[in-house]
Homo-oligomer: A and B are copies of this chain.
Amino acid sequence: MSELRWDPVKLHWVIIATDRGRRPRDFQMEPEESSLTTCPFCYGNEDKTPHEIYALRSDGGANSPNWRVRVIPNKYPALCIEGEAKTRGYGPYDRMNGVGAHEVIIETPDHERGLADLTVAELTDVLATYRARFLDLRNDPRLRYMVLYKNHGIRAGAGLSHSYSQLIAVPLTPPVAATEMKVCRDFYATKERCIYCDLIDFEISEGARVVKEFASYVTVTPFASCFPFELRLFPKKHRHDFAALGDPDLVELAQALKDMLCRLKCVLRDPPYNFILHTAPPMQHRQGKPQYWGSLEYDYHWHIELVPRLIQIAGFEWGTGFYINPTSPEDAAAFLREAEV
């Protein structure tokens, strides 16, 4: 029999329907073809992209080739930086200028390596670049929230095969983040504890959904996973803000992230996936809000969410907000634990 499961933070039910059972081999992917001709993200092709916003490089000026990680504006941005961020009415609706930022983080100059293939030092550079861009974009008071995400593989929405992440800064708090922050705030208001800290403690004590535990981080498959092999990577100690991490924290995080990505690559043969960094919004947007809004450092817990793109979202999911997941998170965690990395 299938089971319905409730996520107390996301506020969703999911249908775990293992009778439709899917084991890793049902999902394994053929490697996607990559075309090497004139990739604008490759070393030496810096003049084929818009001017860089930020880069980590040992020497040389902006847009020169000696970079390790490079940030450029998206050539086809969903949002643009000019304009006023105010809503206005239109009949029964509201509208607003598409103000924001849309950046591309090129994770490596090497076309042939994905994020999972980078060394811990290289991954640390990528994470330090994320942090730098968060800290910079927070200076713009119009930008309410920053969404750092990665689409890996064409089936997960990647436009180019060269490995990159994206950062979109939006003038409104996105609904998924708003719900999550409200739940965290309400829970803290009642219990003076972080709900994520409770969930992490419970998961570590249960063990069935723990993929890998490090000194400071833990990777789990969520109890109410919407998709097969969904993953979350949490700092074990309460930390609300990814951008406040120190350099040693980033090295440990790079180890945990590499472990997670390598396990996934091993078990499902490099599946397409999306990951999203969930972190607290800029400080200036916490003022003048209800009582506990000013205390995200107490009630919010940053983390990374990863969804492999193995099954299709169809009419039922779109029409209901319910998801049907054919692989139990306990099975997924067991396969991932056994991966040789």
Contacts and interface: CB of A to CB of B under 8 A. Distances in A.
A163 interface: no
Given A78-B20, A174-B320, A321-B176, A157 B315 contact: yes
Given A15-B98, A151-B314, A176-B319, A80 B1 contact: yes
Given A92-B195, A93-B224, A98 B319 contact: no
A246 interface: no
A29 interface: no
A278 interface: yes
A174 B321 contact: yes
A175 B314 contact: no
Q: How many copies does the complex hold?
A: 2
Contacts of A151: 314-315
B1 A278 contact: no
A319 B157 CA distance: 13
B93 A321 contact: no
Interface in A49-87: 76-80, 82-83, 87
A293 B155 CA distance: 42
Nearest to A145: B320
A223 interface: yes
A315 B276 contact: yes
A266 interface: no
Interface string A239-259: 000000000000000000000
Given A92-B202, A97-B1, A307 B316 contact: no
Main DSSP-derived SS at the A contact region: mixed
Given A92-B195, A175-B11, A206-B91, A276 B319 contact: yes
Interface centre among A174, A199, A322 (most CB of B within 10 A): A322
Interface in A161-192: 166, 168, 170-172, 174-177
A93 B3 CA distance: 13
A30 interface: no
A1 B98 contact: yes
A147 to B, nearest CB: 5
A94 interface: yes
Contacts of A157: 312-315
A283 interface: no
A116 to B, nearest CB: 16
Contacts of A97: 1, 3-4
A324 interface: yes
B275 A315 contact: yes
Nearest to A152: B315
Contacts of A274: 314-315, 318-319
Given A4-B96, A17-B79, 19 more contacts: A1-B83, A1-B98, A2-B78, A5-B94, A6-B87, A8-B93, A12-B175, A15-B79, A90-B223, A91-B202, A92-B199, A157-B313, A170-B320, A174-B322, A175-B321, A275-B315, A276-B315, A305-B319, A313-B313
4 pairs of A and B residues whose beta carbons are closest in the complex: A157-B314, A2-B98, A276-B319, A274-B315
